[in-house]
């Protein structure tokens, strides 16, 4: 049931609302555009007595992450956040946090890495940390940013998982452009999200040592354990989403949103906010008799290999909209192309679609309807000719 | 979480979180490092406990009579106790002169 | 801020020091390790209701080698960079959890045991942040004047004229380490107006060290103690001489014990007649290469320092 | 599938030394052994035990030399799994640790001590593994313990065989026969110590 109050707020403000309903205990803040609004909202809620939390203004992103690491290990529910070079400044802390199994939540309103100083959205910043053992995914709208906050706490704090989460949204597009957000009632949140309980917190009444050096032959077993836990997170996602949909009356797919799946021969693979424009473009194209599908992933980590393969196997050609850079990577595009290629490789050859990449939405560039029409055209052409003429297109630099 | 096909010793507690000890950490018995053994002359000892307070390894124990005893299971033989003893009551004698073996380990740790 | 219900009483003498150990036997520190002795005394003074944070350094790697944790109290590893901020987070968690009724124990002593590099170099920012915000923690800098864990490299607290594996004396740099060490205690105190208690202590005076720890823990808010911890591995002296070398540092003015408590500075263990620094330098292999002019320079530096103190 | 035991062609020499104080000398000993054997056209390796480091004062540290007449195929290992010869630089360590761990029957032991070889047997619960035990007072014949700040793991070796390492390598040459004294003297600085090590070692055949 869609209960609650409707608000017209942007993504960072939406997460702040969710954090308040999650009764978060410790918040660590450091300013960097475009995520700062989240912390401005939270500091005000704390100052006004609406949220009983420790609001710690840190000296850096590295300290931000360290503060929530210590707090989470003590048994507190935590929130922090950053963007762009702030995300990379804190890099050292990511693996200790996930390895120590502290389910902190970090909100990222993404931003292009320097140089040059560029405030615009690009997914490259936090994607750098995709191998650090964190749950990671993007919201398309402020509403989804709100919802993901609760979903990620529930998933990350589940004792079968106990992993930190990157709760990401496209900088400016989602973080700054308000949308309608239904803020549910406290009782609904309480029904969905149990209080945070860490199995072995730092507590002088029952002492544990957190993180001694290990024997070298325990290393591989530790890494296997971390891999298994990330897999476990994947298994639990449908359970969490189904509960969420039940309590809040939403209709989220677990891993993948597959829009206009039937009839289409080609599919655009998208992560993040631009999927919204893609959806309109697809509708417009459909009216003209061109059928294109959308596959939007809700989680980058854990990557839903089998599910993505199954969805993409319906199509003759798949175009990955990269929205990030990975210079010199296999396929010469971004980080998603090799991941999708590896995913498709599990399919039998006759079910394996052709794959191409579109470098778009870089350094904050808007992806316009026309850009998507261009991508659709290239995909349809490839499907018709059963051949890819060019594996990577840099949108805005291509001749029609 | 228990890992399949991995011996128990190789398995780590989740998040690398381990139990704290209560009186000693016997994963790391260090008596085997000792080159010189400290021997207390109880005739000279004044029970001032200077050696006890100065031991980095907490390897000197005070018993109910106030006597100090060296715990050879952990004593690394640094000799601080002998250096700080105000009455020279602690001698340092080569470990190989003693027949008894206080710690014998398969591996250094 | 949450109140502690227990006040730690001063310890009158060795005879009155608690027998109970919180930092127990069974760790891979050097025979004669000064920092380990400091750790034991600090843990003993702090008692059972304590959480230690161990940034990377000797007191992390040596103490917890291969699944060991030699503490009877909770301990958490921090990166060498972030001891101050991990502790801030733990403190913040206890503040809010106690306020919200999620923790019904007594507010714990939260102690960071950072090495000189983890305090004055790479860990400085996080510790400064914690001190600025006045978290109710104690930061201890166990100063063995080098990155000892990695094989003795110079830190910004390594004394002028030390040989380390990054400052080897040679034809072009005969003195080895050519910079003067940071005065971290002064930096913490004079740079952080919320900090009400800082002290310098030494393993040569165990009761004084333990009492400074108790005083620091009794304060609400951040406190800082800089402990001079002689290091047989890095300074090149026999492992039995750890306490003697530490004592000689004070007798020569190479180290000064003091505290600043709410603005009141008190010097401790001031020698009635100060010995020449050469006597101290002679005890350690790291100073073997020094020429008379280097020794002279160090003497002048120390004279100036003592005059200021 | 090939059996990885083909590496048993390799003669393994394991050094046990006391941390910090003898770390450089322990490393020097394996370097001397490897360099001398290499002079004779053998394939060699010399390396630190990685997990014994960083070393601490008095902690046992292990150093390894490997000598083979054929190319060594498994070079990237952490330790000598089946040492043919064990050299103990700090004799007290034989009381604290199973220094013969992994040794197959017929191995050899050299200990740096002024004591007679027989005196050590009582401390070796697994002495039946040994074909020979030998002692050499290397600290006495070399008259120097090299203590060098720069001689640490991962740094390039400097001048070989300045101190007791030369004497110990001399004793190893005599007891094992893996390489000759002349080759050793070509690679060490303190040739006198190497020679005395070779000539003064007391061997007890078991």
**What number of C-beta contacts closer than 8 Å exist between C and D?**
46
Nearest to C92 by CA among A77, A84, A293: A77
Structure tokens at C249: 């540092």
* Contact (CB<8Å) C89/A68: yes
Choosing among D57, D61, D93, D152, which should be mutated to test the C contact, i.e. which has the most C CBs within 10 A? Answer: D57
What's the average model confidence in pLDDT over D147-168?
86
DSSP collapsed to 3 states, A85-150: HHHHHCHHHHHHHHHCCCCCEEEEECCCCCCCCCCCCCCHHHHCCCCCCCEEEEECCHHHHHHHHH
Identify the pLDDT of residue D7. Answer: 47
* Contact (CB<8Å) D96/B32: yes
What's the average model confidence in pLDDT over A105-120?
92
Report the residue from C29, C151, C164 with minimal CB separation from D153.
C151
Identify the pLDDT of residue C219. Answer: 95
Contact status of A215 with chain C (Cβ, < 8 Å) = yes
Total tally of structural domains belonging to chain B:
1
Contact status of B79 with chain D (Cβ, < 8 Å) = no
Q: How far apart are CA A348 and CA D60, in angstroms?
A: 56
D37-69 tens-digit pLDDT: 999 999 999 999 998 989 999 999 999 999 999
Report the residue from C33, C149, C163 with minimal CB separation from D54.
C149
Structure tokens at A298: 């809700």
Query: What CATH number has the domain bearing residue B92?
Result: 3.30.70.20
Nearest CA in chain A to C80: A92
The answer to whether residue B44 sits within a structural domain is yes
CATH class of residue range C18-308: alpha beta
The answer to whether residue B88 sits within a structural domain is yes
* Contact (CB<8Å) C90/A70: yes
The three-class DSSP label of residue C69 is coil
Chains that touch B (3 or more CB pairs under 8 A): A, C, D
The answer to whether residue B87 sits within a structural domain is yes
Q: How confident is the model at residue B2 (pLDDT cuts 50, 70, 90)?
A: low
* Contact (CB<8Å) A202/C89: no
**C29: chain D residues, CB-CB within 8 Å:** 56
Q: How far apart are CA C75 and CA C68, in angstroms?
A: 11
A348-381 tens-digit pLDDT: 999 999 999 999 999 999 999 999 999 999 999 9
Q: How far apart are CA C248 and CA C234, in angstroms?
A: 17
Provide the residue count of chain B.
109
Q: How far apart are CA B30 and CA C31, in angstroms?
A: 9
The answer to whether residue B49 sits within a structural domain is yes
For chain D, the structural domain boundaries read 4-205
Domains of chain A, earliest start first:
5-248 (3.40.50.970), 256-394 (3.40.50.920)
Taking a C-beta distance cutoff of 8 angstroms, is the pair A266, A383 a contact?
Answer: yes
**How far does D44 lie from chain A, in Å, by closest CA?**
25
**B27: chain C residues, CB-CB within 8 Å:** 26, 66-68
For chain C, the structural domain boundaries read 18-308
pLDDT at A54 over 70: yes
Q: How far apart are CA D128 and CA A252, in angstroms?
A: 71
* Contact (CB<8Å) C165/D150: yes
List CB contacts of D1: < 8 A, sequence separation 6 or more. Answer: none
Contact status of A80 with chain C (Cβ, < 8 Å) = no
DSSP characters over chain D:
---GGGGGGSEEEEEEEETTTTHHHHHHHHHHHHHHHHHTT-EEEEEE-STT-S--TT-EEEEEEEEESS--S----SS-SS-SEEEESSTTHHHHB-TTTTPPTTEEEEEESSS-HHHHGGG-TTGGGEEEEEEE-HHHHH------TT--TTSPP-SS-SSHHHHHHHHHHHHH-SS-HHHHHHH-S-HHHHHHHHHH-EEEE-
Report the residue from B20, B28, B58 with minimal CB separation from C28.
B28
The answer to whether residue B92 sits within a structural domain is yes
Contact status of D18 with chain B (Cβ, < 8 Å) = yes
Identify the pLDDT of residue B4. Answer: 61
This complex has an ipTM of 0.94
Identify the pLDDT of residue C181. Answer: 96
Identify the pLDDT of residue A316. Answer: 97
* Contact (CB<8Å) A221/B3: yes
* Contact (CB<8Å) A212/B18: yes
The yes/no answer on whether domain D4-205 falls in CATH 3.40.920.10 is yes
Nearest to A136 by CA among A168, A104, A114, A95: A168
Where in the sequence is the domain holding B59, given as residue range(s)?
A: 38-97
Contact status of D92 with chain B (Cβ, < 8 Å) = yes
**A218: chain B residues, CB-CB within 8 Å:** 9-12
DSSP characters over B39-93:
EE-TTT-----HHHHT-TT--EEE-TTS-EEE-TTT-----HHHHH-TT--EEEE
The torsion defined by the Cα of A366, A367, A368 and A369, in degrees rounded to 10, comes to -160
Quote the mean pLDDT of chain A. Answer: 96
**C78: chain A residues, CB-CB within 8 Å:** 66, 70
pTM beyond 0.80, yes or no: yes
Contact status of D145 with chain B (Cβ, < 8 Å) = no
* Contact (CB<8Å) A210/B17: yes
Per-residue confidence of chain C (309 residues) as pLDDT tens digits? 566 778 999 999 999 999 999 999 999 999 999 999 999 999 999 999 999 999 999 999 999 987 889 999 999 999 999 999 999 999 999 999 999 999 999 999 999 999 999 999 999 999 999 999 999 999 999 999 999 999 999 999 999 999 999 999 999 999 999 999 999 999 999 999 999 999 999 999 999 999 999 999 999 999 999 999 999 999 999 999 999 999 999 999 999 999 999 999 999 999 999 999 999 999 999 999 999 999 999 999 999 999 988
**How far does B99 lie from chain C, in Å, by closest CA?**
22
* Contact (CB<8Å) C165/D57: no
* Contact (CB<8Å) D153/C30: no
**How far does A269 lie from chain C, in Å, by closest CA?**
38
């Amino acid at each position: 049931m869609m209960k609650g109050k409707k608000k017209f707020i942007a993504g960072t403000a939406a997460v702040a609302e969710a954090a308040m309903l999650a009764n978060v205990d410790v918040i660590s803040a450091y300013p960097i555009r475009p995520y700062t609004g989240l912390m401005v909202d939270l500091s005000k809620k704390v100052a006004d007595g609406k949220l009983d939390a420790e609001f710690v203004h840190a000296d850096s992103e590295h300290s931000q992450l360290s503060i929530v690491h210590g707090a989470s290990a003590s048994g507190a529910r935590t929130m922090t956040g950053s963007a762009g070079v702030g995300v990379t400044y804190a890099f050292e802390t990511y693996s200790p946090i996930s390895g120590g199994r502290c389910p902190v939540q970090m909100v990222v309103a993404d931003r292009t890495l320097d140089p040059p100083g560029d405030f615009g959205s690009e997914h490259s910043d936090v994607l750098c940390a995709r191998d650090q053992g964190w749950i990671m995914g993007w919201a398309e709208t402020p509403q989804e940013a709100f919802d993901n906050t609760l979903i990620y706490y529930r998933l990350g704090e589940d004792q079968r998982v106990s992993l930190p989460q990157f709760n990401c949204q496209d900088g400016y597009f989602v973080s700054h452009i308000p949308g309608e957000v239904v803020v549910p009632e406290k009782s609904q949140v309480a029904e969905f999200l149990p209080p945070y309980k860490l199995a072995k917190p730092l507590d002088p009444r029952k002492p544990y040592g957190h993180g001694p050096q290990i024997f070298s032959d325990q290393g591989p077993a530790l890494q296997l354990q971390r891999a298994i836990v990330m897999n476990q997170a994947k298994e639990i996602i449908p359970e969490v989403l189904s509960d969420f949909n039940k309590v809040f009356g939403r209709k989220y797919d677990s891993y993948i949103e597959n829009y206009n799946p039937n009839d289409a021969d080609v599919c655009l693979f998208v992560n993040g906010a631009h999927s919204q424009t893609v959806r309109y473009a697809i509708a417009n194209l459909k009216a003209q008799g061109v059928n294109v599908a959308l596959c939007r992933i809700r989680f980058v980590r854990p990557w839903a290999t089998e599910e993505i393969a199954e969805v993409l196997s319906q199509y003759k050609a798949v175009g990955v909209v990269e929205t990030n850079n990975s210079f010199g990577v296999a396929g010469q595009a971004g980080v998603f192309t090799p991941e999708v290629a590896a995913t498709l490789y599990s399919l039998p050859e006759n079910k394996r679609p052709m794959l191409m990449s579109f470098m778009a939405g870089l350094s904050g560039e808007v992806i316009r309807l026309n850009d998507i029409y261009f991508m659709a055209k290239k995909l349809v052409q490839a499907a018709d000719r059963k051949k890819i003429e060019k594996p990577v297109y840099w949108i805005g630099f291509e001749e029609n | 979480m228990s890992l399949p096909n991995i011996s128990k010793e190789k398995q780590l507690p989740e998040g690398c979180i381990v139990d704290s000890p209560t009186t000693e950490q016997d994963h790391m018995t260090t008596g085997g490092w000792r080159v010189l053994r400290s021997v207390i002359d109880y005739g000279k000892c004044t029970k001032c406990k200077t050696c006890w307070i100065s031991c980095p390894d907490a390897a000197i124990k005070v018993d109910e009579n106030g006597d100090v005893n060296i715990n050879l299971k952990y004593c690394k033989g640094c000799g601080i106790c002998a250096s700080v003893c105000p009455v020279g009551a602690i001698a340092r004698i080569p470990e190989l002169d003693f027949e008894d073996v206080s710690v014998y380990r398969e591996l250094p740790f | 801020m949450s109140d502690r219900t227990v006040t730690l009483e001063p310890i009158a003498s060795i005879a009155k020091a608690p027998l109970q150990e919180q930092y127990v036997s069974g760790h891979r520190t050097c025979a004669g390790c000064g920092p380990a002795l400091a750790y034991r005394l600090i843990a003993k003074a702090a008692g059972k209701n304590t959480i230690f944070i161990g940034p990377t350094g000797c007191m992390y790697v040596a103490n917890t080698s291969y699944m060991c944790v030699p503490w009877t109290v909770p301990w958490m590893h921090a990166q060498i960079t972030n001891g101050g901020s991990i502790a801030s987070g733990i403190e913040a968690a206890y503040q809010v959890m106690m306020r919200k009724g999620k923790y019904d124990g007594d507010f714990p002593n939260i102690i960071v045991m950072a090495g000189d590099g983890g305090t004055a170099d790479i860990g400085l920012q996080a510790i400064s942040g914690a001190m600025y915000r006045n978290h109710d923690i104690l930061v201890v800098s166990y100063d063995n004047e080098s990155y000892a864990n990695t094989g003795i490299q110079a830190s910004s607290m390594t004394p002028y004229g030390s040989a380390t594996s990054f400052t080897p004396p040679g034809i072009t740099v005969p003195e080895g380490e050519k910079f003067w060490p940071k005065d971290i205690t002064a930096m913490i105190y004079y740079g952080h107006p919320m900090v009400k208690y800082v002290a310098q202590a030494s393993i040569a005076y165990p009761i004084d060290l333990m009492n400074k720890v108790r005083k620091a823990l009794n304060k609400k808010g951040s406190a800082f103690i800089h402990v001079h911890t002689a290091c047989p591995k890095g300074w090149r002296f026999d492992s039995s001489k750890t306490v003697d070398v530490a004592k000689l540092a004070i007798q020569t003015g190479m180290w000064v014990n003091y505290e600043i408590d709410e603005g009141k500075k008190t010097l401790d263990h001031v020698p009635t007649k100060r010995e020449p620094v050469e006597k101290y330098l002679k005890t350690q292999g790291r100073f073997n290469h020094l020429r008379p002019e280097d020794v002279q320079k160090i003497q002048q530096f120390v004279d100036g320092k003592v005059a200021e103190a | 599938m090939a059996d990885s035991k083909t590496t048993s062609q390799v003669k393994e020499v394991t050094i046990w030394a006391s941390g910090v104080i003898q770390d450089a000398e322990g490393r020097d000993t394996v370097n001397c052994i490897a360099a001398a054997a290499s002079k004779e056209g053998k394939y060699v390796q010399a390396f630190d035990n990685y997990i014994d480091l960083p070393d601490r004062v008095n902690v046992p540290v292990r150093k390894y030399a490997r000598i083979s007449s054929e190319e060594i195929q498994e070079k990237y290992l952490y330790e000598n799994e089946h040492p043919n010869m064990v050299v103990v630089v700090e004799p007290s360590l034989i009381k604290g640790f199973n220094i013969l761990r992994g040794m197959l029957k017929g191995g050899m032991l050299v200990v740096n001590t002024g004591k007679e070889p027989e005196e050590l047997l009582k401390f070796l619960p697994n002495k039946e593994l040994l074909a020979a035990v030998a002692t050499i007072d290397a600290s006495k014949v070399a008259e120097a313990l090299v203590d060098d700040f720069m001689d640490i793991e991962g740094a390039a070796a400097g001048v070989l065989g300045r101190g007791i390492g030369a004497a110990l390598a001399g004793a190893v040459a005599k007891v094992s026969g893996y390489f000759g004294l002349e080759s050793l003297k070509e690679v060490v600085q303190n040739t006198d110590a190497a020679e005395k090590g070779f000539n003064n070692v007391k061997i007890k055949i078991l």
